Structure 1
Amino acid sequence: MNKSLLSVLIAAASVPAFAQHQQFTMQEATLGIKTNLAPQNLKQLNWIPGTDAYVYAVGSKEQEALLRTIVPQMKADTLLRLTDINNGLSLSKPLTALPSVEWIKRNECYFSDGNDYYTGTLKNNRWEFSKWCSLPENAENIQVDNHSKQIAYTIDNNLFMVDVYGKTQQISNEPNKDILYGSAKVHRNEFGIAEGIFFSPKGNMVAFYRMDQTMVNNYPIIDWSTNPGKNTDGKYPMAGGTSHEVTLGVYNPITKKTVFLNTGTAKDHYLTCITWSPDEQYIFIAILNREQNHLWLNKYDAKTGAFVNTLFEETDSKYVEPQHALTFLPNSNNEFVWWSQRDGYMHLYHYNTDGKLINGVTKGDWLVNEIVGENAGSKELIITATKESAKEKHIYSVNWNNGKMTLLDNAAGVHTAIVNEAGTYVLDKYQSADVPRNIVVKAVNSKWNKTILQAADPLASYERPKIENVELKADDGTPLYGKIIYPTGFDAHKKYPVIVYLYNGPHVQLITNGFPASGNLWYEYMAQHGYIVFTMDGRGSGNRGLKFEQATFRQLGTAELDDQLKGVDYLKSLPYVDANRMGIHGWSFGGFMTTSMMLRHPGIFKCAVAGGPVIDWSMYEVMYTERYMDTPQENPDGYANNNLLTKVKNLNGKLLMIHGAQDPVVVWQQSMKFVKACVDNGVQLDYFVYPGHEHNVLGKDRVHLMQKITDYFDEYLK
């Protein structure tokens, strides 16, 4: 072999080894997992209604198209091209990318380009496109009803709709800007609320929230980008204070009349789980009292607004938290599935509209995450649940009459499911610690399956740290799940600084069997720069059942800190942990936890970074705070114990506090009052503000944020 050829082979052989020592840039550590380091995916993956065919986007630029595949034959063809759209519409400014296509039925779709909406119909293997409508530029809360091809939307505080004839109807004409129609911000998006407009099943009527905020205190949010700064008053109901009042209206576009449902006299009760009956005769609403410990599932006449009856009630000594609308069973006007945590975990219950419990559908020390489909023929729901592991999510079919469950996937990890209309096939997308993304199409009632994507590891060329799962126990014996991430090039004979990242608040779970195994590339960046990183879900976190979550009731920041201290004890027991160089970081509830740890257990951590922190729970919003803390009037000791303004003198170490200047969730005043308390008590605090950002610092500025946090730990822990 000649020397030149030998040198080429040696160089080629050395590339993978060299490449595997590549380190993340801060840009990659912050944004990479959603951009250049994201696992391969199939864009616009979905089922075509009424068929056993799925589509996804292929190609790029002007060659982009939707590929259709018929199962189980796996016969593929090109269904729709970007050129078909541009040629069919003859736009003055052609589309440069395939728009997001939404299916109305098997041969009909729609898409939008900005606020312009278009429809497409497949006739004789040829697409015909036409302009549907144009919405005003300031339209918000847009809801499209596929069945009737109508669109409802809001402008400022009023509600409008484009009817079946393409005419715009103004549903409300409210001059008071503090009375909102159709807003998705009702009850500050608690109780599973994500929208404020609800078309009836056939599109003959539209229900909507009406939220009156006139009685709620104004709260200033300052826009500092103008000169002078501009105040845009919002409404912010704080714990124990006056809350807004909500009702539900029903509009008939034929008669152009609105009726409001008679939902009762308690003006500050909560209305959620809005559900139409399939025959459009009734609307069901879960009414929750202000104390959040008593729920009524009520039935109302959609035409008159009259209260019909209460189907059943639910109570709890701590709180009831409804989060899901009713799921009516196929071909039935009087049988539905209800979600409830009454047995300690979120499960499904089969009811009829007389309020009779027919049977429990699911049961056990695990919880249901989603209903993703239904199969009328086999009387089965397709669900995702934590039955195999609290750190995973799997797909099951379950018979709604007898509760028989069948696991539909066979791989560890976190699975999401897209189900065809008949409930006979599932697109299973999953990840795990060592699987970036796989997508499998499978039959629900047979073993047939086909893998359609196995994504390569986008992190294969990077120097990756060793990651271990950790299980500790709370004071009451409850298992606590965590992860420890070791420095790259780890040497057990050395001592390393440690960063603890935490959240530990309701509805959030950090520890899952997902990709990447670390959970966050910034953790790995820090490991590449010589840190041990530790994170753990303590009691109060999500996805572990009601007892686990309610352990923090009326004393936020107490049991959670006790659990995080178990993690601290574990870290201190490791010979390679330098207990004198420990830092802690969290955002939002995690910012509250970080600050609490520094003040209530001073001296453990040398430095900390707290982002967007709640400092005084009496200044946080009504719905969330009163669920977990009751009101300040009912629980003065709980609020006092966790008020961090009274504990600033305890600070023993360096604390950097960060806040978004336009934060409407944890208002800026929270950390500003903490700054003032530090000044009053002669306590030094490091503080930074991100103008133009709300509760989270997003986009390119997030790289700046994570660099600032990293620099702070480097300064005080290295």
Structure 2
Amino acid sequence: MNLTGQRSGGYQSLAGKDSEIEELLETVIATQPSHASSSSSDAAVLPTTVQRKNLNAYYSDSEDYYEDDNSSTYSDHDEKHYARDSEAVFQEPPKLTRGNRACLAFLGLLLVIWVGVAVVLGIARLNRLVHMPMEDMRPFFEVDDMFNTSFSPKYDFLAWMPIGADGVYSRIDSNGDIVLTNVDGSEPKVFLPGANVTDANNEQIDFFAFRVSPDEKFVLLSTQARKQWRHSFNATYLIYDMSSYKVRPLLEHADEPLVEHVAWSPVGHTLAYVQNNNLYVYEDLTTRHQVTFDGAPGIFNGLTDWVYEEEVYTSTNALWWSPDGTALAFLRFDETEVPEFHFPIFMNNQKQAPAYPRDIMMKYPKAGYPNPIVSLHIHRLKAGAGAGAADAVPVVAPTAANPLKAVDLSYTFAATNMIIAEVKWATVDSSALLVKVQNRVQNHEKVVLVDPAQYKGKVIREWDAGKEDGGWIDMQQSYYYIAPSKFVPEGGYLDIGNNAGYNHLALYTPVDNPQPKWLTNGEWEVSEISAVDEKLGKVYFISAEKSSMERHLYSATLDTAERRPMTSLTEPGYYSASFSTGAGYYLLSYRGPEVPWQKVKKVGDEKFNMDLETNSQLEAAMKEKQLPTRRWGTVDLGGERECNYMEFLPPGFNPAEKHPVLFQVYGGPGSQLVDAQFQLGFSAVMSAAEKLRYVVVVVDGRGTGYKGRKFRIPVVNQLGKLETEDQILAGKHWSTLPYVDHKRLAIWGWSYGGFMATKVTEADAGVFSAAMAVAPVTDFRFYDAVYTERYMNLPSLNAAGYEATAVTNMTGFENLDYFLVHGTGDDNVHVQNTYSLIDRLTVAGNHRYKLHVFTDSDHSIRAHNANHEIYWRLSEFLYESIGGYVEELHHH
């Protein structure tokens, strides 16, 4: 049954009323107060909902009642008999006895009482009709609305420019011009006219990104991107000369392999780029130097391989210029021993599928199998790059016969047991390099200070979390070098580290000091460093100090650690910030819970306020729809831990009525779903759609982030156990609430959330009636080594843990409706996970599950209209399995 109308058309809708239940935080969406009633011809009457009567129908019903009553006694004979009796009455008035008078008096009294009651009831009914709220005829928020950009908040991105005064940013306008704007309100200026960027036929070339050289003499233009994995792509690059107004390609020949990564030196106009997995330096845009010569399908120089791109750097970049532009540090990845994984692409972006699918081969290290061997290299471009002994070390140009040697890190971990998690220059020149090295399972970390001229280093601090508390070390890149100043006389660097079980801001001064100066502390966590103003001696950062569900911007002084909020703490808020190159201005983005907005602010000047985005279109669109409300809080699970939760309450929510409930879960280590960000997606649809109107519940159980290590690390070596227990406990708690239909609880999730929904199904706790899993891991022996071993250790050292984590018991799948969805082109969570589970279900003879695969879709499931289709199918499955607010259906 089509629960949301035509998939490409409009929908019929009902009205709604705000919840009367106490709200723990301000609601994210304002709705109109009204009671719900059914206007759809195929919808059943909503149970226990106040219905507005049609007055004409009411009186017609009354007339029909009296007509039916009279018709049972009247006839032509009766009318004649009545006439004769009436005539006799007038002829001779009857004589009343004492008994007759008593009876008449009693009947009169009954009549008076009846009339009085009727009057009272009539007045009461009229009063209810007069005060009944008008029916809200606005349509509900449905599946198609998710894909209407009017309902998506817009966020502008300011590309802050190191040109002229602080506060200049750039953008590409509709004409293809690069325009520079100053936040001081001065007239915007065209920096590069798009009409100047033309090909040999004098046709204007569209470009999607640009980067200006530090000396402002050249602009690097990016065009014709070709996607690889989640973050990686290759592209065609052009160089625009600001003096001659001419455009030329970065590469010398049109048939050369495309460039995979490119970066300007911090000074002048020298480029480093990666082509065909080899690193090149284009010095002053006049002379090309090949730095590496061994680039190959399994050898990457200056560019991350798949697993480092996905799990370590969340980027393709693996090269770092020194601040003075005289040296270049980069990583080399050797995937020779990493096993290959193959999967087919069936349609190959064609309407008619080719006879033979295209085979994709990727090097993918699964748990327990070889990781890429990573090594650190430094290419010195000029003599004197460094201090002291480095001045005497000559610069030797690498060749194929004499390649760059690797920096010696053998004293940290063996090559097969090493992850280089972060690289950062710790100097104003090129004399010192910080390198964060971790063991393979990421519970032991060593920070190395490298002398680039000598290709050697020393461990300056380390943390063995495995011995300290048994947990892992979070993967993050948060080093920030601080030059010597009156605030930090010896210089140093900032990092986010473990302070009594919480992530906090640390200053290490001087650079080789192993002991931190903590700038923040307490039972809350810092999430990121936004900027540093060394002239003012301040660091700006985002933290969850007010609430683990919120994010606010703060400043802290580097010398005294004085901390101040820069966003209002009186109302719930989730903020991010982007600072100008001089840190004098910042783009403040309010991301919820109300309609998001963006303003440009000036440090130290509260009066300065430039609206950049108000999302007025979104606000207007929301007024045209009936939307759910949200509330947040904590719930005690197991009598020993407080877990954050969030509820979406449907329009017209009445706590005295029973609602079906959908749990959304992710639950991966360090993750967070319950927060104050604006949301108007699938959860809103499930809560507001006309025939669904679920209460949607999200609970962040053990293992999730921003509540400290004691809350996160208990899941180590046993993924899926404690998280499943918490979701089941949450389901049991909600099933006892008066507004919940305890027979109709469902749970769903994507990726790790799909794993969780599947583990809940396997647990067979009798709490949920349906489960939906999208692209789930079903056995972590199939997932990548860097992520999996961080939380599960090596399979050889935790065989029982891996076996327990895998979904192997099919009994629970007999007792609820299970929907499994996957994309066949998923390079992240391979469809192998789904096929393995299907085989187990087949062997067990289970017939109750449903399966849908999306051809060629990757982990995001977007290929060939799949992203729209998947949400329609998820909502349809739930309606067919456990029904909605309007009616309960179950086909089993």
TM-score calculated relative to the size of structure 2: 0.72
Moved more, 585-594 or 643-652: 643-652
Match of 2:550 in 1: 392
Match of 1:424 in 2: 584
Q: CA shift at 1:92, angstroms?
A: 4.2
What SS is found at the alignment partner of 1:504? coil
Equivalent AA in structure 2 for residue 53 of structure 1: G
The alignment status of 1:263 with 2:377, answered yes or no, reads no
Q: CA shift at 1:485, angstroms?
A: 1.5
Match of 2:53 in 1: none
CA distance in 1, matches of 2:625, 2:239: 44
The structure whose residues are more often strand, as a share, is 1
The alignment status of 1:696 with 2:844, answered yes or no, reads no
CA distance in 2, matches of 1:350, 1:391: 26
Moved more, 517-526 or 706-715: 517-526
Match of 2:821 in 1: 658
The alignment status of 1:409 with 2:537, answered yes or no, reads no
Q: CA shift at 1:151, angstroms?
A: 3.5
Match of 2:87 in 1: none
- Kept after mapping to 2: 8 A contact 1:118/1:129: no
Relative to structure 1, is the Cα distance of residues 517 and 362 closer, same or farther in structure 2, using a 3 angstrom cutoff? farther
Q: CA shift at 1:49, angstroms?
A: 4.3
Q: How does 1:151-190 map to 2 (within 5 A)?
A: 151-174=271-294, 176-185=296-305, 187=308, 189-190=310-311
- Kept after mapping to 2: 8 A contact 1:112/1:118: no
Match of 1:3 in 2: none
2:504 alignment partner, one of 325, 332, 347: 347
CA distance in 1, matches of 2:358, 2:155: 43
CA distance in 1, matches of 2:321, 2:283: 12
Match of 2:40 in 1: none
The alignment status of 1:22 with 2:139, answered yes or no, reads yes
1:566 alignment partner, one of 714, 729, 737: 729
CA distance in 2, matches of 1:43, 1:283: 31
Relative to structure 1, is the Cα distance of residues 132 and 260 closer, same or farther in structure 2, using a 3 angstrom cutoff? farther
- Kept after mapping to 2: 8 A contact 1:618/1:639: yes
Consecutive unaligned residues of structure 1, counting only runs of 5 or more, are: 1-13, 122-126
The alignment status of 1:311 with 2:439, answered yes or no, reads no
The alignment status of 1:714 with 2:831, answered yes or no, reads no
Q: After superposition, what is the alpha-carbon deviation per residue over 1:441-478, rounded to whole angstroms, capped at 9, x for unaligned?
A: 33323433314143321422211113222320233633
Match of 2:260 in 1: 140
Q: CA shift at 1:642, angstroms?
A: 2.0
Identity of counterpart residues, as a percentage? 21
The alignment status of 1:498 with 2:677, answered yes or no, reads no
Aligned Cα root-mean-square deviation (Å): 3.0
What SS is found at the alignment partner of 1:550? helix
CA distance in 1, matches of 2:840, 2:698: 30
Match of 1:232 in 2: 360
What SS is found at the alignment partner of 1:36? helix
Moved more, 252-261 or 460-469: 252-261
Match of 2:175 in 1: 62
1:323 alignment partner, one of 459, 476, 482: 476
2:606 alignment partner, one of 436, 447, 450: 447
Q: After superposition, what is the alpha-carbon deviation per residue over 1:658-693, rounded to whole angstroms, capped at 9, x for unaligned?
A: 112122222221111111111111112321211212
Q: CA shift at 1:325, angstroms?
A: 4.5
Equivalent AA in structure 2 for residue 707 of structure 1: W
Match of 1:4 in 2: none
Q: CA shift at 1:41, angstroms?
A: 4.2
Equivalent AA in structure 2 for residue 671 of structure 1: T
Q: CA shift at 1:427, angstroms?
A: 2.1
Q: After superposition, what is the alpha-carbon deviation per residue over 1:138-160, rounded to whole angstroms, capped at 9, x for unaligned?
A: 32233344534333333443333
1:677 alignment partner, one of 837, 840, 845: 840
Q: CA shift at 1:538, angstroms?
A: 1.4
The alignment status of 1:584 with 2:747, answered yes or no, reads yes
CA distance in 1, matches of 2:762, 2:516: 52
CA distance in 1, matches of 2:263, 2:650: 48
Moved more, 349-358 or 296-305: 349-358
2:451 alignment partner, one of 281, 301, 305: 301
Moved more, 489-498 or 624-633: 489-498
- Kept after mapping to 2: 8 A contact 1:349/1:357: no
CA distance in 2, matches of 1:66, 1:567: 52
Equivalent AA in structure 2 for residue 415 of structure 1: Y
Relative to structure 1, is the Cα distance of residues 247 and 67 closer, same or farther in structure 2, using a 3 angstrom cutoff? closer
Q: CA shift at 1:537, angstroms?
A: 1.4
Q: CA shift at 1:426, angstroms?
A: 2.2
Relative to structure 1, is the Cα distance of residues 99 and 106 closer, same or farther in structure 2, using a 3 angstrom cutoff? farther
Relative to structure 1, is the Cα distance of residues 377 and 175 closer, same or farther in structure 2, using a 3 angstrom cutoff? closer
How many residue pairs match? The answer is 688
Relative to structure 1, is the Cα distance of residues 253 and 600 closer, same or farther in structure 2, using a 3 angstrom cutoff? same
What SS is found at the alignment partner of 1:468? strand
1:208 alignment partner, one of 303, 307, 330: 330
CA distance in 1, matches of 2:675, 2:682: 8
CA distance in 2, matches of 1:498, 1:408: 38
CA distance in 2, matches of 1:252, 1:227: 51
Q: CA shift at 1:376, angstroms?
A: 1.7
Q: CA shift at 1:128, angstroms?
A: 6.8
CA distance in 1, matches of 2:332, 2:866: 36
The alignment status of 1:335 with 2:492, answered yes or no, reads yes
CA distance in 1, matches of 2:302, 2:282: 14
Q: How does 1:70-81 map to 2 (within 5 A)?
A: 70-71=183-184, 75-80=185-190
- Kept after mapping to 1: 8 A contact 2:141/2:627: no
CA distance in 1, matches of 2:472, 2:566: 34
Equivalent AA in structure 1 for residue 359 of structure 2: N
The alignment status of 1:85 with 2:194, answered yes or no, reads yes
Moved more, 108-117 or 400-409: 108-117
- Kept after mapping to 2: 8 A contact 1:414/1:431: yes
- Kept after mapping to 2: 8 A contact 1:649/1:683: no
Equivalent AA in structure 2 for residue 337 of structure 1: L
Equivalent AA in structure 1 for residue 534 of structure 2: A
CA distance in 2, matches of 1:223, 1:395: 45
Q: CA shift at 1:554, angstroms?
A: 1.4
CA distance in 2, matches of 1:367, 1:128: 51
CA distance in 1, matches of 2:574, 2:154: 16
Match of 1:368 in 2: 526
Relative to structure 1, is the Cα distance of residues 43 and 215 closer, same or farther in structure 2, using a 3 angstrom cutoff? closer
Equivalent AA in structure 1 for residue 365 of structure 2: P
What SS is found at the alignment partner of 1:77? coil
Q: CA shift at 1:602, angstroms?
A: 4.3
Equivalent AA in structure 2 for residue 305 of structure 1: Y
The alignment status of 1:37 with 2:151, answered yes or no, reads yes
CA distance in 2, matches of 1:300, 1:56: 37
- Kept after mapping to 2: 8 A contact 1:467/1:517: no
Q: CA shift at 1:481, angstroms?
A: 1.5
- Kept after mapping to 2: 8 A contact 1:139/1:154: yes
Q: CA shift at 1:598, angstroms?
A: 0.7
CA distance in 1, matches of 2:239, 2:150: 32
TM-score calculated relative to the size of structure 1: 0.88
Match of 2:371 in 1: 243
- Kept after mapping to 2: 8 A contact 1:151/1:161: yes
1:291 alignment partner, one of 419, 441, 454: 441
- Kept after mapping to 1: 8 A contact 2:304/2:333: no
CA distance in 2, matches of 1:20, 1:69: 46
Equivalent AA in structure 1 for residue 724 of structure 2: L
- Kept after mapping to 2: 8 A contact 1:395/1:409: yes
- Kept after mapping to 1: 8 A contact 2:764/2:812: no
Match of 2:160 in 1: 46
Match of 1:219 in 2: 341
